[in-house]
Chains A and B, each alone.
Chain A
Amino acid sequence: MTTTTGPAFASAPTVEVDDVSKWFGQKVAVSGISCSFGPGLTGLLGPNGAGKTTLLRMLTGLILPSQGEVLVKGQGPRTNVDRYREIGFVPEESALYGSLTGEEYVAYAARLSGIANPEQAARQAIETVALSDAKDRTVGGYSKGMRQRAKVAAALVHEPEILVLDEPLNGTDPVQRAHLINLFQELAGNGCTVIVSSHVLQEVERMTERVIAVVDGKLAAAGDISAIRRAMSDIPYRVAIDCDQPRRLGAALLDNETINSVSVETNRIHVETSDLAGLGKVIAGLARDIDTRLSRFSPEDESLESVFRYLVGRR
C-alpha cells in the first residue's frame, strides 16, 4: 500500500484498495483509487456512472483491476476461492434464478458456500430479511423489493465477515428500506465489514457517517459527512436565517467580510459564508444591534445531498 493513513483508510482494514484503476477499452471506469474498509458500515457514494459498481466488483474479484491491487484480508480475492467463505455480495442487477423458489434460491447459495444444513440456514436468512411469507414462491415472480431482499438473504446465508452491497435498497418500499438499514447496521455493529453503495444520498445518510465518495471514477472525498464538508473549505456554507427584518439583517451581514452573498425572502435570508463558526459568533450581536428577533439559524448544506452536489460540481 502506498499510503494507509487519512480518512479514506480504516484503522483495522479487512479490504484494501491500492491505487486501483480499471479501464474498458478507451473508457476509464475507475482511476487511481486508494482506500480501505474495516469492520463497521461504510457508504460508497457517487452518481450513476461514477465507478461505484466497478469498484465493488473489483473488491469481490468479479473483475480484475487494470492497474493497482485489491487485497481482502491480505490476499487478492481471486488468489484462493476459500476467501469467498468470508465475502457476501449483493449485485446491483437482478442476478436471480427465476425458476427457483425464494427458499431454494437461498439454499442454493448456502450449498455453494459449503454450509452443513443449507435448508435451515436458508430459512434463517429468509427470516432475517422478512421474506418468510414469500419463500415458497418462485423468485421470477417477486417484486423488485422482494428480489432485493432475496439477494441480501443469499449474501448473508453463510454469515460472511465482509458484506459488499451494490445499491441494495433499490426498489424497496420505506418499511423494507428501514428494515434493511437496521439489518446492515446491526451486522456492522457485530463486527462485519459492510460496504454499501448508493446514489441516493438520504439512504447513505441514514445508514452511516463514514462515506467514501467516488466521482468520475476518482476518489472525491472520504470520512464522515460533516468532516468532508468542512474539508472543502473553498466552498461556502449556506445558512438559512429566519427573522422578522430580513432586509435589515441582510444589509448588516454584507458588511461582514466573511459573508460572500445574501439573498432575501419574505421572512428568511440565505447567507453564503466561508466561515460558519465566525458567522455563528457575530449573528447574535448583529440581530441585537438592529433589534430583530432570530427564529431560526441552520446550515442548509450539511446533508449528503449538498456535499454530493459540491463534489460533482468540483470535477
Chain B
Amino acid sequence: MTAFIAITRVTIKQTLRLRRAIGLLLLSGSSAFTYLMAVIGSRGNFDFSNDNAFQAFAGITIGTFMNIVIPVVTLIIATSVLGDERRDNTMSFLVLRPIGRFNIALAKIFAAFVESFVVSGIGALALGLTVAIRIDDFSYVVPLLVGTAVATAAYSAVFVPLGYLLKRATLIGLSYVFIWENGIGGAVPAVAGISPWRIGLSATSGLAPERFLNELPTFATGSITAGAGGAVLKALVLTAASAALIALILRRRDLAN
C-alpha cells in the first residue's frame, strides 16, 4: 500500500505542472462560463425561462462538458502518467522495484483519475452550481460530479496504456474521442455502450431527477440507459482490464530501448 500511495503522489506531483494545470482548469471551467454567458446574454433578448435554462444545461453538459472537456482533460493528464516515465527515462527507477506490475499499473491509473477528476470536478461543480442558482434546483450538482468521476475513471483506463504504447498518444486519443466515440458511437449502440463519457452520463442520469434524461439531446448521445451502479461497474471493469493490459506489457516487453 505504501508503494501504491507513493507512486500515486509522485505521479501527480510530476504531471500536474502549473501552466498545464491553469490551462486545463480554464478548459474545465469553459462549460460553466458558456452557460453563464447564455444566462447573461439572454436577459431582455428572448424568453430564457427555467425550462429553457434547463435545456441549455442538458445541452451544454453533452455538447461541451461530457464529450469534450472531460475526455480532453483526462487525455492530456492520463497519457502523461506513464508516457512521461518513458520519455524521461524513469521507467527503470519504477519497474526495478519489488512491486507487482499490476499494482504499478493500478497506481498509475488511480493517479490519472485523481488528477483528472480534481480538474474536471472543479468544472463540473462550477457548471452544476451555476445551473442550480439559475433554476433554483441543486439536485443536479452531485449527480453531475458522480458522472464526471465515472467518466474520468473510464477515460483514465483507456488513456493511460495509450500514453505508454504510442508516441502520438494525444493525437490518437483525440481521434478516438471525436471520430470513434462521438462519430461512430452516435450511430452504433455497441460502441456507445463502452464509450466513457456515455458511461459517465448514465451515472449522472441514474442519480439525477428523471427530467435530466428526458432533456438529453439523443441525436448526440445515442441511447443512454440511466443507472449509476451499472456505470460504476463498467468503469471498474475497464480499469481492471486496463491495469491487466499494462501489467502484461510491463512483464513481456522491453522497458527501455
A residues at B contact (CB < 8 Å): 24, 57, 60-64, 78, 81-85, 87, 89, 91, 93-100, 108-109, 111-114, 154
- A-side contacts of B95, CB under 8 Å: 62
Residue pair B96, A95 in contact (C-beta under 8 Å): no
Known: A82-B98, A95-B88, A97-B10. A154 touches B2 (CB 8 A): no
A-B residue pairs, 8 tightest by C-beta = A112-B97, A63-B254, A93-B89, A111-B6, A84-B98, A85-B98, A95-B89, A91-B92
Closest approach, in angstroms, between the C-beta of A175 and any C-beta of chain B? 26
CA distance A91 to B257 in the complex (A): 12
- B-side contacts of A113, CB under 8 Å: 97-98
Q: Which residue of B lies closest to A92 (CB)?
A: B89
Residue pair A62, B88 in contact (C-beta under 8 Å): no
Residue pair A84, B96 in contact (C-beta under 8 Å): yes
Write 29 A-B pairs (CB below 8 A) sorted by A numbering. Answer: A57-B92, A57-B256, A60-B96, A62-B92, A62-B96, A62-B254, A63-B254, A64-B254, A81-B97, A89-B92, A94-B88, A94-B89, A95-B89, A95-B92, A96-B88, A97-B10, A97-B14, A97-B88, A97-B90, A97-B93, A100-B10, A109-B93, A111-B3, A112-B3, A112-B6, A112-B98, A112-B99, A113-B98, A154-B93
B residues at A contact (CB < 8 Å): 2-3, 6-7, 10, 13-14, 88-101, 251, 254-257
Closest approach, in angstroms, between the C-beta of A259 and any C-beta of chain B? 49
CA distance A83 to B99 in the complex (A): 10
CA distance A62 to B86 in the complex (A): 12
Residue pair B90, A24 in contact (C-beta under 8 Å): no
Closest approach, in angstroms, between the C-beta of B95 and any C-beta of chain A? 7
CA distance A195 to B108 in the complex (A): 31
- B-side contacts of A109, CB under 8 Å: 93, 97
Residue pair A63, B89 in contact (C-beta under 8 Å): no
CA distance A61 to B253 in the complex (A): 10
Q: Which residue of B lies closest to A61 (CB)?
A: B96
Known: A62-B95, A97-B14. A81 touches B101 (CB 8 A): yes
CA distance A249 to B247 in the complex (A): 72
Residue pair B255, A63 in contact (C-beta under 8 Å): yes
**Beyond the given A81-B98, A81-B101, A95-B90, could you list 10 further A-B residue pairs with CB under 8 A, ordered by the A residue number?**
A24-B257, A57-B92, A57-B256, A61-B96, A81-B97, A97-B93, A99-B14, A111-B3, A112-B94, A154-B93
Q: Which residue of A lies closest to B6 (CB)?
A: A111
Residue pair B92, A60 in contact (C-beta under 8 Å): yes
- B-side contacts of A108, CB under 8 Å: 6, 10
User: Which of B10, B90, B98 is A114 in contact with, Cβ under 8 Å?
Assistant: B98
Residue pair B13, A100 in contact (C-beta under 8 Å): yes
CA distance A98 to B89 in the complex (A): 12
Closest approach, in angstroms, between the C-beta of A118 and any C-beta of chain B? 8
Closest approach, in angstroms, between the C-beta of A264 and any C-beta of chain B? 51
Known: A99-B13, A99-B14. A87 touches B90 (CB 8 A): no
CA distance A225 to B226 in the complex (A): 75
Q: Which residue of A lies closest to B101 (CB)?
A: A81
CA distance A95 to B99 in the complex (A): 18
Residue pair A91, B14 in contact (C-beta under 8 Å): no
Residue pair B256, A62 in contact (C-beta under 8 Å): yes
Closest approach, in angstroms, between the C-beta of B56 and any C-beta of chain A? 41
- A-side contacts of B100, CB under 8 Å: 81
Closest approach, in angstroms, between the C-beta of B88 and any C-beta of chain A? 7
Closest approach, in angstroms, between the C-beta of B109 and any C-beta of chain A? 17
CA distance A154 to B10 in the complex (A): 15
- A-side contacts of B14, CB under 8 Å: 97-99
Residue pair B3, A114 in contact (C-beta under 8 Å): yes
Q: Which residue of B lies closest to A94 (CB)?
A: B89
CA distance A61 to B65 in the complex (A): 44
